[in-house]
Chain A
Amino acid sequence: MVLVVYLSLTTWGGLGVPQFTGLSNWIRLVGDPVAHRAILLTLILTGGSWALQTPIALLLGVWASGRQRNRAVLSAIFFVPLLLSSAAIAIIWRALLDPNFGPLTTIGPLIGMPGLDFLSSETGAFGVILFVSAWQFIPLHTLLYQGGARQIPESLYQAAEIDGAGRYRAFWHITLPQLRNTITTSSVLMVVGSLTYFDTVLIITGGGPGHATTIVPYLMYEAGFQNYQFGYASAVACVLVAFATLASLLMVRFTGFGKMRSTREGM
C-alpha cells in the first residue's frame, strides 16, 4: 500500500527505476474526464448491482431454505454459475452475445428484433456487464440467505401462525428482520466485489465501446498494463482503495453491524 502511494508520485513505465514527479499523476487524475466517468460508472455499477442482486438473492434464498418438492434439484442447477470461473463465464457470455455468430442471430428474428446487438451500444454494453455480474453472483448470495433463513427458529413462524399471520406477513415481520445481519454481510460483499469487478469487463467489452464500460479497476489496468503508466495507475488504485474502504465503513456503521446486536431481540 505504501509502495502504491509512492508509485503514484512517480513516472514509471514498468522498466528501470521510477522517476519522482510529485503530484503530477494526481493533478492529471483530477482533470481526467475518463477517470471522472470511470468513477461514476463504478458507483452506478455498485448501486445497480446491489439493487438488482439483493432482492432476487433474498427471495431465492428464502425459497431454497424451505422444503418444497424438487427444491434440491432446482437449487443444484441454479448454483452452477457459482462453480464456473469468472473468465469462463465472461467467455461464454461473449460468445452468446456475438451479434453475427451467436444464438442472438436465431433468437433476434423470432422476437422481431433481427439486429439484436447489446455490445455495440454504450448502455447495452454496460447493461451486459450488470447482467452478467448478477448472473454470476446471485447464487453466492442466495446461498448466504439460504443459510441465514434456515437459522430462523421455527417457533417464530409457529407463533405467527397462531396469531393469524399469513405467509406474506410472516416474511415481512419475521424473515426479513431476522436476516438483517445476513443482508449486511451480503451487501458488503456485493459492494466491495462490484467496486473491484474486472475480469468480465476485460473479456466481454475491453472497457468499450469507447470508454462506456471503463470502470475504475479497468482504468487502473488500462493505465498500468496497457499504457505503461504505472504511476498514474497507482493514483487510480489509491482512489479505488479509498472508495472501497469508505463504502465498507459506511455500511458497517449504518446497518448497526458493528454493534452486533442479537438478532433474537424480543424473544
Chain B
Amino acid sequence: MIPHRAGAAGALALLLFTATACGGDAGSQDSGDGEMNIMMYQDSLAVVQENAVERFNQNNEATAAMNQVAPDGYEDKLRTVMGSGQAPDMFFNWGGGSIEPYVEQEMLLPLGATLQENPEMQDAFIPSILEAGKINDTQYGIPLRGTQPKMIFYNEKVFEEAGVEPPETWEDIQNLIDTFKEEGVTPFALGGATPWADLMWMEYLVARIGGHDVFQQIANGDSAGWKDPAILEAAQIIQDMVKNGAFGDSYASVSAADGSASALLADGQAAMHLMGSWEFSTQLADAPEFAKNDLGYVAFPAMPDGEGNAQAVVGNPTNYFSITDDGDTDAAVEFLKQTYSDEYVKDMVENGEVPTTTGAEEMLDEAPNPDFARFQYAMVRDAPTFQLSWDQALPRSVAEPMVTEIEKLFNQQVTPEEFVDNVAALQ
C-alpha cells in the first residue's frame, strides 16, 4: 500500500461526503442590506401576506422583503438560518414547540411591551388564540392567519352518485368505506408520503376515544402517556381501516404537500379527505369549480363508547409571526400591525380563511363560501378543547421519529403493539 495514494482516496471520499452533507443545507439569506426580511411559509394562502408586504412598502419608509419557503422543508430551513446567524427579521411559525428552542436561546423579541404600547393590537385578536402565542407566559407570536381546525372534506358529487349521505357517526364511516369500495372509489384520500397527513387520523381517534388529556399528558413531557389504552385502540383501528382498503392501495406514495391528495378528492377518485381547514383554500386555488360547487365538509364523528368530547377540535389554533431580536426591530413591530388591519382581514376572508380577529364574524359574509366560513368559525368557538397538532406540540427530536412510527403503522411495517412500544421509547 502506498500511503499518499490511500490519503488521496480518503480525501476523495471526504470531499464527496462534504458535498453531500451540504446538499441538506438550506442556503443563506440576505440580511443587513436595510431590508426587513420576512420568512414565510409558501402555500396558496401566502398571497395575503404578499399583499400586506406591498401595502407596507407603500406606506412606510422601511422596506420589507418576503422570502417564501416550501412547506416540506420550512422548519428545517428556519432552524438552519437561525443557527447560522443569518436569521430573518421576522418569521412564520406554529407557536408552541416550534419556537421554544429559539426562546430558550433568547433569540426572539418578547412582545409584552409591544402589546402594552399598542392596546389595539391586544384587543384585535380572540384572547385564547393570542394566548397560544405565549411561551412561559411571555408573548412571542402575533397571529397572522386564520384558525385551522382539521375536519373531513368530501366530494358531494361522488356522494350523490353513490346515493349516500355525509357521515355523522363512526358507523356511517364504516358503511361509507364499504360503499365506496364497491363503487371503485377510494373512500379516503391520504397523503401518506408526507406522514403528517397520517398523523391527523391518530390525533382525532385518540381525542375521540380517550379525550384531550391523553395526548396532553404526553405533550407535557410524560412519555408514559403513550401507554394509555386509547393509543393502542386508535392504532388498531387505523390498521383495520388500512386492511379494509379505506385509503386505497397507493396512499403511501401520495403526497399531501404537493396537492396530490387534494387532487384525488377534486377528481372524484377519492370520496373523502381528512385535512386541515386550509384544504378549502387549496381547492379554491387548484380546483376552483370543485371548491365552489361540490366540496362538502363535516366534523370528525364521535367514536362509540369514546370518552372524548365529540366537539373537541384538533389542528392549529393559528400561525404566528415572531420577531428575531437583533436590536433593530422597529420595522418588524410596525409590520405586525398589518395582521389585523381591515385590508388584511378582508384578504384572509376572501381567500377562504376564518380570521382570529375579534371582529371577524360579521366579515364572514364576504368569504368565497360563507357557509364554510361560519361552519368553521362555530366549530372553533364551540370546541371545549383545541389540541395543537402533535408534531408541533412536541419537541422536534421526538416529533419527527413519532411521525415516522405512525407512517410505519399505516404501512403495516409494525403492529399496533410495536407502535406503542416504539413511541413510548422516544425521548
Interface residues of A (CB under 8 A from B): 1, 13-16, 97-101, 115, 117-122, 125, 188, 192-193, 195-199, 202, 205-206, 208-212, 217, 220-222, 224-229, 237, 240-241, 244-245, 247-249, 252-253, 258
Contacts and interface: CB of A to CB of B under 8 A. Distances in A.
Contact of B16 (A118, A210, A244): A244
Contact of A248 (B12, B195, B264, B413): B12
Nearest to B79: A14
B5 interface: yes
A155 B192 CA distance: 60
Nearest to A121: B252
B14 interface: yes
Contact of A196 (B16, B24, B397): B16
Contacts of B23: 198-199, 202, 221
B182 interface: no
A209 B411 contact: yes
Interface string B171-196: 00000000000000000000011110
Given A225-B24, A245-B10, A240 B253 contact: no
B250 A15 contact: no
Q: Which 5 A-B pairs have the closest CB atoms?
A: A120-B252, A119-B253, A244-B13, A99-B250, A248-B9
Given A119-B252, A210-B411, A241 B396 contact: no
A183 B319 CA distance: 56
B397 A122 contact: no
B368 to A, nearest CB: 26
B20 A217 contact: yes
A215 to B, nearest CB: 11
B170 interface: no
Which of B13, B19, B263 has the largest count of A CB atoms less than 10 A from its CB?
Answer: B13
Nearest to B5: A258
13 contacts: A15-B83, A15-B101, A15-B104, A97-B253, A100-B250, A100-B264, A198-B23, A199-B23, A209-B407, A210-B408, A224-B24, A229-B397, A249-B6
A192 B252 contact: no
Interface in B64-83: 76, 79-80, 82-83
Nearest to A197: B20
Given A208-B407, A237-B21, A253-B1, A98 B253 contact: yes
B413 A244 contact: no
Interface string B240-282: 0000000001111110000010011000010000000000000
Nearest to A16: B105
A227 B269 CA distance: 35
Contacts of B269: 100
A210 B413 contact: yes
Contacts of B6: 249, 252
A117 B260 CA distance: 15
A87 B293 CA distance: 38
B2 interface: yes
Nearest to A1: B14
Contact of A225 (B9, B76, B104, B105): B76
Contact of B79 (A208, A221, A228, A241): A228
Contacts of B401: 227
Given A210-B413, A237-B21, A244-B17, A98 B260 contact: yes
Nearest to B16: A196
Contacts of B400: 222, 226-227
B21 A119 contact: no
B21 A245 contact: no
Contacts of A100: 250, 254, 260, 263-264, 269
B13 A241 contact: yes
A120 B13 CA distance: 32
Given A119-B253, A229-B397, A252-B5, A15 B82 contact: yes
Contacts of A115: 249-250
A37 B413 CA distance: 14
Nearest to B414: A210
Interface of B: 1-2, 5-6, 9-10, 12-14, 16-17, 19-21, 23-24, 26, 76, 79-80, 82-83, 101-102, 104-105, 107, 192-195, 249-254, 260, 263-264, 269, 396-397, 400-401, 404, 407-408, 411, 413
A234 B269 CA distance: 44
Contacts of B254: 99-100
B249 A117 contact: yes
A210 B9 contact: no
Contacts of B252: 119-121, 208-209
A241 to B, nearest CB: 6
A120 B251 contact: yes
Given A209-B413, A227-B400, A229-B397, A221 B24 contact: yes
Nearest to B401: A227
B396 A188 contact: no
B10 to A, nearest CB: 4
A237 B101 contact: no
B88 to A, nearest CB: 15
Nearest to B19: A196
Contacts of A99: 249-250, 253-254
B250 A241 contact: no
Given A14-B83, A15-B102, A221-B24, 11 more contacts: A99-B254, A198-B24, A209-B408, A210-B407, A211-B408, A220-B21, A225-B79, A226-B400, A227-B396, A227-B397, A252-B6
A248 B13 contact: yes
Contacts of A244: 13-14, 16-17
A212 B250 CA distance: 16
B396 A198 contact: no
Contacts of A202: 23-24
Contacts of A121: 252
A195 B21 CA distance: 12
Contacts of A196: 16-17, 19-20
A200 to B, nearest CB: 11
Which of A97, A115, A244 has the largest count of B CB atoms less than 10 A from its CB?
Answer: A244
A137 B397 CA distance: 35
A224 B401 CA distance: 13
A168 to B, nearest CB: 35
A138 to B, nearest CB: 19
Contacts of A210: 404, 407-408, 411, 413
